[in-house]
Amino acid sequence: MKERSNGKGNGAAKPGANGHEVSSREHPSGGPALIVGGAGFIGTNLADRLLRDGWTVRLFDNLSRPGVEQNARWLKETHGDRFDVRVADVRDAAALREAVRGVDQVFHFAAQVAVTTSLADPLHDFDVNARGTVHLLEALRAVDRPPSLVFTSTNKVYGGLEDVPVTQQCRRYEPYDLLTRTYGIGEDRPLDFHSPYGCSKGAADQYVLDYARSFGIPAVVFRMSCIYGPHQFGTEDQGWVAHFLIRALEGRPITLYGDGMQVRDVLFAEDLVEAFLLAQANVHDLSGQAFNIGGGPENTTSLLELIDLIEELNGEKPVVRHDDWRIGDQRYYVSDTRKFRVATGWRPRVGVQAGVQRLHRWLRETRGISGRDPRRSPASISVPVAGVKAGR
Protein backbone atom coordinates (compact mmCIF):
# COMPACT_ATOMS: atom_id res chain seq x y z
CA MET A 1 0.00 0.00 0.00
CA LYS A 2 1.39 3.37 -0.93
CA GLU A 3 0.56 6.73 0.43
CA ARG A 4 -0.98 9.35 -1.65
CA SER A 5 1.74 11.50 -3.06
CA ASN A 6 0.53 14.66 -4.68
CA GLY A 7 3.32 16.91 -3.57
CA LYS A 8 1.17 18.53 -0.92
CA GLY A 9 3.07 17.30 2.10
CA ASN A 10 1.88 13.83 3.10
CA GLY A 11 3.14 12.04 6.18
CA ALA A 12 3.82 8.36 6.73
CA ALA A 13 1.06 5.75 6.97
CA LYS A 14 0.02 4.60 10.45
CA PRO A 15 -2.79 2.55 11.94
CA GLY A 16 -6.21 4.20 12.05
CA ALA A 17 -8.97 3.83 14.63
CA ASN A 18 -9.99 0.41 13.35
CA GLY A 19 -6.47 -0.89 12.95
CA HIS A 20 -6.34 -0.20 9.23
CA GLU A 21 -3.36 1.62 7.87
CA VAL A 22 -4.40 5.09 6.86
CA SER A 23 -2.67 8.20 5.75
CA SER A 24 -1.28 10.21 8.64
CA ARG A 25 -2.49 13.44 7.07
CA GLU A 26 -4.55 14.15 10.16
CA HIS A 27 -3.56 17.80 10.16
CA PRO A 28 -3.10 18.32 6.45
CA SER A 29 -1.33 21.40 5.28
CA GLY A 30 -3.41 21.49 2.09
CA GLY A 31 -6.94 22.72 1.55
CA PRO A 32 -10.18 21.37 2.92
CA ALA A 33 -11.90 18.14 2.02
CA LEU A 34 -14.98 18.80 -0.08
CA ILE A 35 -17.98 16.53 0.51
CA VAL A 36 -20.62 16.97 -2.16
CA GLY A 37 -23.88 15.78 -0.62
CA GLY A 38 -22.11 16.21 2.70
CA ALA A 39 -25.17 16.85 4.87
CA GLY A 40 -26.56 13.43 4.02
CA PHE A 41 -26.19 10.25 6.03
CA ILE A 42 -22.87 9.08 4.61
CA GLY A 43 -21.51 12.61 4.23
CA THR A 44 -22.15 13.43 7.87
CA ASN A 45 -20.40 10.31 9.11
CA LEU A 46 -17.39 11.10 6.92
CA ALA A 47 -17.35 14.81 7.86
CA ASP A 48 -17.43 13.92 11.54
CA ARG A 49 -14.43 11.62 11.14
CA LEU A 50 -12.42 14.07 9.01
CA LEU A 51 -13.10 16.91 11.44
CA ARG A 52 -12.04 14.73 14.37
CA ASP A 53 -8.85 13.93 12.43
CA GLY A 54 -8.03 17.61 12.08
CA TRP A 55 -9.20 18.39 8.57
CA THR A 56 -11.16 21.41 7.59
CA VAL A 57 -14.24 20.37 5.65
CA ARG A 58 -16.47 22.01 3.08
CA LEU A 59 -19.95 20.61 2.64
CA PHE A 60 -21.85 21.21 -0.59
CA ASP A 61 -25.49 20.21 -0.34
CA ASN A 62 -28.86 21.55 -1.41
CA LEU A 63 -30.42 20.09 1.77
CA SER A 64 -33.17 18.51 -0.33
CA ARG A 65 -33.28 15.27 1.64
CA PRO A 66 -35.76 15.70 4.50
CA GLY A 67 -33.97 15.64 7.84
CA VAL A 68 -30.44 16.38 6.66
CA GLU A 69 -30.48 19.95 7.96
CA GLN A 70 -30.39 18.27 11.38
CA ASN A 71 -27.10 16.65 10.35
CA ALA A 72 -25.62 20.01 9.35
CA ARG A 73 -26.76 21.47 12.69
CA TRP A 74 -25.29 18.54 14.61
CA LEU A 75 -21.94 18.92 12.84
CA LYS A 76 -21.91 22.63 13.66
CA GLU A 77 -22.71 21.96 17.32
CA THR A 78 -20.07 19.25 17.51
CA HIS A 79 -17.25 20.81 15.51
CA GLY A 80 -17.85 24.55 15.43
CA ASP A 81 -16.22 26.58 12.71
CA ARG A 82 -13.83 24.15 11.07
CA PHE A 83 -16.30 23.47 8.33
CA ASP A 84 -18.60 25.44 6.12
CA VAL A 85 -21.77 24.47 4.35
CA ARG A 86 -22.50 25.69 0.87
CA VAL A 87 -26.18 25.30 0.23
CA ALA A 88 -26.06 24.72 -3.51
CA ASP A 89 -27.10 22.26 -6.19
CA VAL A 90 -24.95 19.91 -8.29
CA ARG A 91 -26.96 21.05 -11.30
CA ASP A 92 -25.28 24.45 -10.84
CA ALA A 93 -21.94 24.09 -12.66
CA ALA A 94 -20.67 27.51 -11.55
CA ALA A 95 -21.30 26.71 -7.87
CA LEU A 96 -19.32 23.49 -8.25
CA ARG A 97 -16.41 25.28 -9.97
CA GLU A 98 -16.34 27.67 -7.05
CA ALA A 99 -16.60 24.87 -4.45
CA VAL A 100 -13.65 22.81 -5.76
CA ARG A 101 -11.28 25.76 -5.58
CA GLY A 102 -8.35 25.01 -3.27
CA VAL A 103 -9.66 21.69 -1.99
CA ASP A 104 -7.38 18.73 -1.34
CA GLN A 105 -9.81 15.81 -1.64
CA VAL A 106 -13.33 15.41 -2.98
CA PHE A 107 -16.07 12.93 -2.08
CA HIS A 108 -19.14 12.91 -4.29
CA PHE A 109 -22.29 11.59 -2.59
CA ALA A 110 -25.01 14.03 -3.72
CA ALA A 111 -27.71 12.16 -5.55
CA GLN A 112 -31.30 11.44 -6.19
CA VAL A 113 -30.97 8.25 -4.17
CA ALA A 114 -34.07 6.12 -4.77
CA VAL A 115 -35.18 3.75 -7.51
CA THR A 116 -38.85 4.55 -6.79
CA THR A 117 -38.49 8.31 -7.28
CA SER A 118 -36.35 7.76 -10.38
CA LEU A 119 -39.30 5.89 -11.89
CA ALA A 120 -41.61 8.79 -11.04
CA ASP A 121 -39.29 11.46 -12.51
CA PRO A 122 -36.48 10.05 -14.67
CA LEU A 123 -35.41 13.46 -15.98
CA HIS A 124 -34.81 14.86 -12.51
CA ASP A 125 -32.94 11.67 -11.63
CA PHE A 126 -30.76 12.02 -14.74
CA ASP A 127 -30.07 15.71 -14.15
CA VAL A 128 -28.90 15.24 -10.58
CA ASN A 129 -27.09 11.93 -10.84
CA ALA A 130 -25.59 11.90 -14.32
CA ARG A 131 -25.38 15.54 -15.38
CA GLY A 132 -24.52 16.69 -11.84
CA THR A 133 -21.59 14.27 -11.75
CA VAL A 134 -20.30 15.46 -15.12
CA HIS A 135 -20.54 19.06 -13.86
CA LEU A 136 -18.35 18.06 -10.92
CA LEU A 137 -15.87 16.22 -13.15
CA GLU A 138 -15.64 19.24 -15.43
CA ALA A 139 -15.03 21.48 -12.43
CA LEU A 140 -12.20 19.16 -11.38
CA ARG A 141 -10.78 19.02 -14.91
CA ALA A 142 -10.53 22.80 -14.94
CA VAL A 143 -8.21 22.77 -11.90
CA ASP A 144 -4.45 22.74 -12.58
CA ARG A 145 -3.73 19.81 -10.26
CA PRO A 146 -7.11 18.18 -9.74
CA PRO A 147 -7.85 16.93 -6.23
CA SER A 148 -8.60 13.22 -5.86
CA LEU A 149 -12.17 12.02 -6.02
CA VAL A 150 -14.12 9.15 -4.46
CA PHE A 151 -17.54 8.58 -6.01
CA THR A 152 -20.30 6.44 -4.51
CA SER A 153 -21.97 4.24 -7.11
CA THR A 154 -24.32 1.36 -6.38
CA ASN A 155 -24.75 -2.39 -6.69
CA LYS A 156 -27.75 -1.57 -8.92
CA VAL A 157 -25.29 -1.22 -11.83
CA TYR A 158 -25.25 -5.04 -11.92
CA GLY A 159 -29.00 -5.25 -12.57
CA GLY A 160 -31.50 -7.71 -11.16
CA LEU A 161 -29.05 -10.68 -11.18
CA GLU A 162 -31.87 -12.90 -12.46
CA ASP A 163 -29.25 -15.29 -13.83
CA VAL A 164 -27.93 -16.01 -10.33
CA PRO A 165 -30.05 -19.01 -9.34
CA VAL A 166 -31.09 -18.96 -5.71
CA THR A 167 -32.56 -21.47 -3.34
CA GLN A 168 -34.69 -20.83 -0.29
CA GLN A 169 -33.11 -21.59 3.09
CA CYS A 170 -35.27 -20.91 6.14
CA ARG A 171 -36.02 -17.18 5.96
CA ARG A 172 -33.58 -16.18 3.22
CA TYR A 173 -32.40 -16.82 -0.32
CA GLU A 174 -28.98 -18.29 -0.96
CA PRO A 175 -27.23 -18.74 -4.33
CA TYR A 176 -26.80 -22.31 -5.56
CA ASP A 177 -23.33 -21.54 -6.78
CA LEU A 178 -20.73 -22.21 -4.08
CA LEU A 179 -18.35 -19.46 -5.22
CA THR A 180 -21.09 -16.82 -5.19
CA ARG A 181 -22.28 -18.07 -1.81
CA THR A 182 -18.76 -17.90 -0.40
CA TYR A 183 -17.52 -14.63 -1.85
CA GLY A 184 -20.49 -12.66 -3.19
CA ILE A 185 -20.70 -10.64 -6.41
CA GLY A 186 -17.43 -9.37 -7.85
CA GLU A 187 -16.55 -6.43 -10.08
CA ASP A 188 -16.27 -8.78 -13.07
CA ARG A 189 -20.08 -9.01 -13.20
CA PRO A 190 -21.29 -7.48 -16.49
CA LEU A 191 -22.85 -4.06 -16.07
CA ASP A 192 -26.61 -4.20 -16.59
CA PHE A 193 -28.31 -0.96 -15.61
CA HIS A 194 -31.88 -1.44 -14.34
CA SER A 195 -34.28 1.43 -13.57
CA PRO A 196 -33.59 5.11 -14.28
CA TYR A 197 -31.65 5.27 -10.99
CA GLY A 198 -29.48 2.33 -12.10
CA CYS A 199 -28.89 4.09 -15.43
CA SER A 200 -28.06 7.51 -14.01
CA LYS A 201 -25.77 6.18 -11.29
CA GLY A 202 -24.23 3.71 -13.75
CA ALA A 203 -23.57 6.48 -16.25
CA ALA A 204 -21.98 8.61 -13.53
CA ASP A 205 -19.89 5.60 -12.43
CA GLN A 206 -18.60 5.18 -16.00
CA TYR A 207 -17.95 8.92 -16.44
CA VAL A 208 -15.85 8.98 -13.28
CA LEU A 209 -13.78 6.02 -14.48
CA ASP A 210 -13.40 7.60 -17.89
CA TYR A 211 -12.31 10.98 -16.52
CA ALA A 212 -9.57 9.08 -14.69
CA ARG A 213 -8.61 7.38 -17.98
CA SER A 214 -9.04 10.26 -20.43
CA PHE A 215 -8.05 13.26 -18.31
CA GLY A 216 -5.94 11.79 -15.52
CA ILE A 217 -8.31 12.86 -12.72
CA PRO A 218 -7.32 10.69 -9.72
CA ALA A 219 -10.64 8.97 -9.03
CA VAL A 220 -12.04 5.82 -7.44
CA VAL A 221 -15.56 4.38 -7.66
CA PHE A 222 -17.25 2.49 -4.81
CA ARG A 223 -20.16 0.29 -5.93
CA MET A 224 -21.94 0.08 -2.64
CA SER A 225 -24.45 -2.27 -1.15
CA CYS A 226 -26.64 -1.28 1.83
CA ILE A 227 -25.02 1.14 4.24
CA TYR A 228 -26.57 1.87 7.62
CA GLY A 229 -25.74 3.81 10.77
CA PRO A 230 -26.32 6.98 12.77
CA HIS A 231 -27.49 10.13 10.94
CA GLN A 232 -29.51 8.05 8.49
CA PHE A 233 -33.03 9.27 7.77
CA GLY A 234 -34.22 6.05 6.17
CA THR A 235 -37.49 5.99 4.27
CA GLU A 236 -39.47 3.36 2.44
CA ASP A 237 -37.62 4.46 -0.71
CA GLN A 238 -34.06 4.35 0.58
CA GLY A 239 -32.21 3.34 3.73
CA TRP A 240 -34.28 0.30 4.62
CA VAL A 241 -32.41 -0.78 7.78
CA ALA A 242 -33.01 2.61 9.41
CA HIS A 243 -36.53 2.75 7.95
CA PHE A 244 -37.51 -0.61 9.50
CA LEU A 245 -36.12 0.46 12.87
CA ILE A 246 -37.87 3.86 12.77
CA ARG A 247 -41.20 2.27 11.83
CA ALA A 248 -40.92 -0.30 14.59
CA LEU A 249 -39.93 2.30 17.18
CA GLU A 250 -42.90 4.45 16.19
CA GLY A 251 -45.25 1.45 16.28
CA ARG A 252 -46.11 1.89 12.59
CA PRO A 253 -46.34 -0.98 10.09
CA ILE A 254 -43.41 -2.06 7.91
CA THR A 255 -44.29 -3.00 4.33
CA LEU A 256 -42.29 -5.86 2.87
CA TYR A 257 -42.16 -5.76 -0.93
CA GLY A 258 -41.75 -9.33 -2.12
CA ASP A 259 -41.50 -12.23 0.29
CA GLY A 260 -38.90 -10.65 2.62
CA MET A 261 -36.35 -13.36 1.95
CA GLN A 262 -34.20 -11.00 -0.15
CA VAL A 263 -30.65 -11.04 1.17
CA ARG A 264 -28.30 -8.08 1.35
CA ASP A 265 -24.92 -7.48 2.86
CA VAL A 266 -25.02 -4.48 5.14
CA LEU A 267 -22.12 -2.23 6.09
CA PHE A 268 -21.94 0.02 9.13
CA ALA A 269 -21.11 3.64 8.24
CA GLU A 270 -17.98 3.71 10.39
CA ASP A 271 -16.47 0.88 8.32
CA LEU A 272 -17.37 2.67 5.11
CA VAL A 273 -15.64 5.84 6.31
CA GLU A 274 -12.52 3.79 6.95
CA ALA A 275 -12.69 2.55 3.36
CA PHE A 276 -13.02 6.14 2.07
CA LEU A 277 -9.87 7.17 3.94
CA LEU A 278 -7.98 4.21 2.52
CA ALA A 279 -9.19 4.96 -1.00
CA GLN A 280 -7.94 8.54 -0.76
CA ALA A 281 -4.67 7.52 0.87
CA ASN A 282 -4.00 5.07 -1.96
CA VAL A 283 -5.67 6.92 -4.79
CA HIS A 284 -2.68 6.93 -7.10
CA ASP A 285 -2.59 3.14 -7.08
CA LEU A 286 -6.35 2.70 -7.20
CA SER A 287 -7.32 5.47 -9.60
CA GLY A 288 -9.53 4.47 -12.51
CA GLN A 289 -10.87 1.41 -10.69
CA ALA A 290 -14.26 0.42 -9.30
CA PHE A 291 -14.62 -1.59 -6.10
CA ASN A 292 -17.60 -3.45 -4.67
CA ILE A 293 -18.00 -2.24 -1.10
CA GLY A 294 -20.34 -3.69 1.47
CA GLY A 295 -20.48 -5.88 4.53
CA GLY A 296 -19.58 -8.94 2.45
CA PRO A 297 -20.67 -12.54 3.09
CA GLU A 298 -19.97 -12.26 6.83
CA ASN A 299 -22.45 -9.42 7.30
CA THR A 300 -25.67 -10.35 5.59
CA THR A 301 -29.32 -10.36 6.53
CA SER A 302 -32.62 -11.00 4.87
CA LEU A 303 -35.47 -8.57 5.47
CA LEU A 304 -37.26 -11.16 7.60
CA GLU A 305 -34.14 -11.78 9.66
CA LEU A 306 -33.75 -8.06 10.31
CA ILE A 307 -37.33 -7.95 11.53
CA ASP A 308 -36.52 -10.78 13.94
CA LEU A 309 -33.55 -8.80 15.22
CA ILE A 310 -35.68 -5.67 15.66
CA GLU A 311 -38.21 -7.70 17.63
CA GLU A 312 -35.38 -8.80 19.89
CA LEU A 313 -34.20 -5.20 20.38
CA ASN A 314 -37.65 -3.67 20.92
CA GLY A 315 -39.10 -6.53 22.91
CA GLU A 316 -42.12 -6.68 20.63
CA LYS A 317 -42.89 -7.89 17.13
CA PRO A 318 -43.06 -5.13 14.49
CA VAL A 319 -46.31 -4.97 12.50
CA VAL A 320 -45.55 -6.24 9.00
CA ARG A 321 -47.55 -5.91 5.77
CA HIS A 322 -46.81 -7.50 2.42
CA ASP A 323 -46.92 -6.08 -1.10
CA ASP A 324 -45.69 -7.04 -4.60
CA TRP A 325 -42.03 -7.16 -5.59
CA ARG A 326 -40.57 -3.82 -6.63
CA ILE A 327 -38.89 -3.31 -10.02
CA GLY A 328 -35.24 -4.32 -10.10
CA ASP A 329 -35.27 -5.80 -6.59
CA GLN A 330 -32.47 -8.36 -6.41
CA ARG A 331 -33.27 -11.57 -4.52
CA TYR A 332 -29.67 -11.81 -3.49
CA TYR A 333 -26.94 -9.24 -3.48
CA VAL A 334 -23.79 -9.63 -1.41
CA SER A 335 -20.61 -7.73 -2.27
CA ASP A 336 -17.39 -9.55 -2.96
CA THR A 337 -15.02 -7.07 -1.33
CA ARG A 338 -11.81 -9.01 -1.88
CA LYS A 339 -10.44 -6.64 -4.54
CA PHE A 340 -10.48 -3.66 -2.15
CA ARG A 341 -9.26 -5.81 0.72
CA VAL A 342 -6.23 -7.00 -1.26
CA ALA A 343 -5.48 -3.44 -2.38
CA THR A 344 -5.72 -1.78 1.05
CA GLY A 345 -6.12 -4.33 3.85
CA TRP A 346 -9.64 -3.05 4.59
CA ARG A 347 -12.31 -5.28 6.05
CA PRO A 348 -15.56 -4.52 7.85
CA ARG A 349 -15.26 -4.59 11.64
CA VAL A 350 -18.77 -3.94 12.91
CA GLY A 351 -21.05 -6.98 12.73
CA VAL A 352 -24.73 -6.79 11.89
CA GLN A 353 -26.06 -7.25 15.40
CA ALA A 354 -23.68 -4.72 16.95
CA GLY A 355 -24.30 -2.21 14.16
CA VAL A 356 -28.09 -2.50 14.22
CA GLN A 357 -28.02 -2.17 17.98
CA ARG A 358 -25.94 1.04 17.71
CA LEU A 359 -28.31 2.51 15.12
CA HIS A 360 -31.29 1.52 17.27
CA ARG A 361 -29.77 3.31 20.25
CA TRP A 362 -29.02 6.45 18.18
CA LEU A 363 -32.56 6.55 16.83
CA ARG A 364 -34.06 6.19 20.28
CA GLU A 365 -31.82 8.89 21.74
CA THR A 366 -32.33 11.41 18.94
CA ARG A 367 -36.08 10.86 18.82
CA GLY A 368 -36.48 10.91 22.56
CA ILE A 369 -38.09 7.48 22.41
CA SER A 370 -37.96 5.68 25.68
CA GLY A 371 -38.38 1.96 25.85
CA ARG A 372 -36.55 -1.15 26.63
CA ASP A 373 -32.83 -0.51 26.71
CA PRO A 374 -31.12 -3.46 25.06
CA ARG A 375 -28.36 -3.58 27.63
CA ARG A 376 -27.33 -7.07 26.77
CA SER A 377 -24.16 -7.35 24.78
CA PRO A 378 -24.61 -8.04 21.07
CA ALA A 379 -23.18 -11.52 21.51
CA SER A 380 -25.92 -12.39 23.97
CA ILE A 381 -28.75 -11.62 21.58
CA SER A 382 -30.23 -14.97 20.83
CA VAL A 383 -32.08 -14.39 17.58
CA PRO A 384 -31.01 -16.96 14.98
CA VAL A 385 -29.81 -14.81 12.08
CA ALA A 386 -28.21 -16.98 9.43
CA GLY A 387 -24.99 -15.56 8.06
CA VAL A 388 -24.93 -12.80 10.65
CA LYS A 389 -21.97 -12.69 12.95
CA ALA A 390 -21.89 -10.87 16.22
CA GLY A 391 -19.89 -7.66 15.99
CA ARG A 392 -16.60 -6.99 17.63
Ligand X SMILES: NC(=O)c1ccc[n+]([C@@H]2O[C@H](COP(=O)([O-])OP(=O)(O)OC[C@H]3O[C@@H](n4cnc5c(N)ncnc54)[C@H](O)[C@@H]3O)[C@@H](O)[C@H]2O)c1
Which is closer to ligand X, CB of 13 or CB of 352? 352
Rounded alpha-carbon distances, angstroms, from residue 37 to 40, 50, 151: 6, 15, 11
Asked if 151 and 224 touch (Cβ cutoff 8 Å), the reply is no
CA angle 212, 95, 291 (to 5 degrees): 30
d(CA 345, CA 299): 17
Angle at 345 between CA 344 and CA 348, to 5 degrees: 115
Which of 27, 23, 1, 224 has its CA nearest to residue 109? 224
Q: Which is closer to ligand X, CB of 41 or CB of 291?
A: 41
Task: Specify the residue, 89 or 336, whose C-beta has the smaller distance to ligand X.
Answer: 89
Would the CA dihedral through 307, 243, 117, 40 be positive or negative?
Answer: negative
Strand partners, 14: 22
Least distance between ligand X and beta carbon 224 (Å): 4
Of 64 and 182, CB closest to ligand X: 64
Closest CB to ligand X among residues 13, 157 = 157
Please identify, using beta-carbon distances, which residue of 153 and 357 lies nearer to ligand X: 153
- Residue 257 among the catalytic residues: no
Q: In sequence order, which residues have a C-beta less than 8 Å from that of residue 3 and are 6 or more positions away?
A: 10, 11, 12, 13, 23, 281, 282
Minimum distance of ligand X from residue 77's CB (angstroms): 17
The Cβ of residue 73 has, within 10 Å, a number of other Cβ atoms equal to: 12
Residue 278 vs residues 22, 224, 272, 286, 357: alpha-carbon distances, Å: 6, 15, 10, 10, 26
Q: What is the DSSP letter of 212?
A: H
Of the pair 3, 265, the CB lying nearest ligand X is at 265
Cα 335 to Cα 222: distance, rounded to the nearest angstrom: 11
Nearer to ligand X, 90 or 256 (CB): 90
Quick check: 59 and 47 in contact, CB under 8 A? yes
- Which residues are near ligand X by CB under 6 A? 37, 39-43, 61-65, 68, 89-91, 109-111, 113, 128, 132, 152, 154, 201, 224, 226-227, 239
Give me the least distance between CB of 69 and ligand X, in Å please. Answer: 9
User: Which member of 197, 211, 257, 332 is catalytic?
Assistant: 197
Collapsed DSSP state (helix, strand, coil) of residue 369: coil
- For the bound state, the minimum distance from the C-beta of residue 195 to ligand X, rounded and expressed in Å, comes to 12
Integer Cα distance of 387 and 96 in angstroms: 43
Between helix 195-215 and helix 132-141 the angle, nearest 10°, is 10
Q: What is the DSSP letter of 299?
A: B
- What is the distance between the alpha carbons of residues 272 and 204, in angstroms, rounded to a whole number? 20
Task: Write the DSSP assignment of 121-141 as a string of letters.
Answer: -HHHHHIIIIIHHHHHHHHHH
Active site residues: 197
